[in-house]
Amino acid sequence: MNQIELFAPASVANVSCGFDVLGFCLDPIGDIMRISKTTTPGVIIGKIAGQDLPTDPLKNVASVAGLALLKEHSSEFGFQIDIDKKIKPGSGIGSSAASAAGAVFGINELLGAPYSKKELIRFAMEGEAIASGAAHADNLAPVLLGGFTLVRSNKILDVIKLPNPKELVATIIHPKIELKTLHSRAILKTTIPLNKAIEQWGNLGALVSALYTEDYELLSRSIQDKVIEPYRAMLIPKFEETRQAALNAGALGSGISGSGPSIFALSKGIQVAKKVGLEMEAIYKDLDLDYQLHLSKINTEGIKVLNRS
């Protein structure tokens, strides 16, 4: 195998109550990446379509992630990464995670898969770190493992794949403003009230339980964030109205996707998710602001191989 083409999906991190630890993988939204063997060792960035991203291998998250892998697993040949970048950076649906995860996944395959998907996360984190200012796995884990994932510890990287209630469908609205994770992290306080923290971990524990028991009502009650959202909400136009519109249309829960500006909603069944999308869209139609709307089942597989040659 000299070349692999793959689909690197978008993802939703945090999911309201699981700041920095929880995430799930999206389905139809994602980048197309082609990774090819080259004769010169190292990683180079070839063509990037769709977005204006650095081609310097030391500045692009995909190549940085790939180089992290090659630092541990040396290779006589090198790799070229071409990306059809459909996920807009700074959209809050894991643009950098898709690139970083896609790169290490592809390179790993071309090396004969010396690492498991779980092991690949830590290499991808080095790419993620240059985009978000901190090495987080909350988007990378769902992209690599699929479905819902929990990062117990970012420090020693302990990642758990959670079950996926079959009828969940995500609706995402992406207002076309760019919010760098770096900036939306800077707005947060370094301490939080203990009583809010207790509510948060009560909700996260309940959400994990709800995923195992497919208890959609409990899931709905758990999707709350009193810690992070109040600060970040002010960076997103009409956030609260859009969230309310989603809930009024029947969504189980709604909140900021990752560090925003995208807003996610989770619904039971495709019909509700569509209605939720229409109501979220209704809020944005009144604004002089471009947006995109996505509908997605939970992608339980993560990255998909499109072609090997």
**Which residues form the interface with a second copy (CB under 8 A)?**
17-22, 150-154, 158, 160, 162, 188-195, 197-209, 212, 218, 221-222, 227
Rounded to the nearest whole angstrom, what is the least distance from the CB of residue 19 to a second copy in the complex? 6
Nearest residue to 171 (alpha-carbon basis) of 50, 269, 30: 269
Q: What are phi and psi of 82, to 5 degrees?
A: -110, 135
Query: Distance from first CA to last CA of the chain, Å, rounded?
Result: 5
Task: Closer to a second copy by CB, 48 or 97: give it.
Answer: 97
CA 3 to chain CA mean position, Å: 25
Within 13 A of 201's CA, how many CA atoms are on the CB side? 7
Task: Closer to a second copy by CB, 74 or 195: give it.
Answer: 195
Rounded to the nearest whole angstrom, what is the least distance from the CB of residue 226 to a second copy in the complex? 11
Beta-sheet strand order (sheet of 291-297): 253-256, 263-268, 168-175, 291-297
Specify whether the CB–CB gap between 10 and 23 falls below 8 A. Answer: no
The CA distance from 233 to 240, in Å, is 7
Count Cβ atoms below 10 Å from residue 210 Cβ, excluding itself: 20
Kindly state the tokens that stand for 262: 């995208």
Count Cβ atoms below 10 Å from residue 152 Cβ, excluding itself: 11
State the catalytic residues. Answer: 128, 181
